[in-house]
Amino acid sequence: MIELMLSAALVMFGLAGAIALIRIIIGPSLPDRIIALDMIGVILVSVVAVISVILNTRAFLEVILILAILAFISTIAFSRYIERGAIIERKRDR
Amino acid sequence: MNVSGIAEFIAALLILVGSMMAVVSAIGIIRFPDVYTRSHAATKSSTLAVLLTLSGAFLLFWINQSFVSVRILLGIAFVFLTAPVSGHMISRAAYRRKVKMSDTTVEDELYDVLHGEGKEREK
């Protein structure tokens, strides 16, 4: 019963990732694609949690934190690039 | 069915509801007309999905192995803090790059700020 529910959850996460991948492919503007990529990162965090429950191991729990931090930093970097054209700005007066 | 069986069932049900919420969020991201409504769908409901799933995983580890995972709690707190911030940043970048809204939009209060005072919006 529990294993069936966890497997169904994995299938649904795969479905959600596939739909977000469609949005990445057909997205008309760059922010659409970045929103969909951010969502895929969040889905991947959940998938790692479910897989570590299924395999009954604690070895993957760091991966959750690392993936969340990487998804956040990449989204912030991309949005700064879209907004200003540079991710890290130079100092002018020196 | 004893108490730990019931608790395990509730935790698995949390994970299942979280996955359904992820599918709802993905349907929203494919069906909505412009980038702002898509950001609305993606940010809120996928945050809720990952919160429910991580809570279910935390409960399952707690019940099965009597192991309180601080990493999952930190992951919940981190996702809950950073997902709205990244949604805000990407929506603001899209607005400043003048990504078009959908045709059914009736109100844009920042139009004068972005395009200069007193210019009529073309429709």
Q: For the full predicted model, state whether its pTM sits above 0.90.
A: no
Sign of the four-CA dihedral B117, B98, B23, B88 = negative
- Between CA A37 and CA A18 the distance in angstroms is 11
Q: Which residues of chain A does B49 touch, with a Cβ-Cβ cutoff of 8 Å? A: 42-43, 46
Chain B residue at shortest CA distance from A57:
B61
Q: Which residues of chain A does B96 touch, with a Cβ-Cβ cutoff of 8 Å? A: 83
Residue by residue, pLDDT tens for chain B (123 residues) are: 688 888 889 999 999 999 999 999 999 999 998 889 999 988 999 899 999 999 999 999 998 888 888 999 999 999 999 999 999 999 999 888 888 888 787 777 777 777 776 666 654
Q: Which structural domain range is residue B48 located in? A: 3-122
Overall number of domains in chain B: 1
Site from A4, A46, A73 to mutate, B interface, most B CB atoms within 10 angstroms: A46
- Between CA A33 and CA A51 the distance in angstroms is 26
Q: What is the pLDDT of residues A33-66, one digit of tens each?
A: 999 999 999 999 999 999 999 998 888 889 999 9
Residues A29 and A48 sit within 8 Å (Cβ to Cβ)? no
Identify the H or E element spanning A50: helix A30-54
Alpha carbons within 13 A on the beta-carbon side of B109? 0
ipTM above 0.85, yes or no: yes
Is the CB of A39 inside 8 Å of chain B's CB atoms? yes
User: Among partner residues A19, A34, A79, which is closest to B26 by beta-carbon distance?
Assistant: A19
